[in-house]
Amino acid sequence: MLCAYLRMPYTLPGDPPADNADEPTRTRHDHRVQEREVRLTAQHILTTHLHPGPNPDHPVKTYWPDTDLNLTGATLIDLDLDHCQPHHARFDRATFTVDAYCGGAITQHPVETSNWPTGWRATDDHQPVDGREGTWHRLVEIEVALVDSP
Q: What is the pLDDT of residues 61-101, one digit of tens each?
A: 999 998 988 988 888 888 888 788 888 888 777 777 765 54
The pLDDT, as a whole number, for residue 99 is 54
Residues 10 and 47: their CA atoms lie apart, in Å, by 20
* Percent composition of the chain: helix, strand, coil (DSSP 3-state, to 5): 20, 20, 60
| Highest mean pLDDT, choosing among 51-55, 85-89, 111-115, 137-141 | 51-55
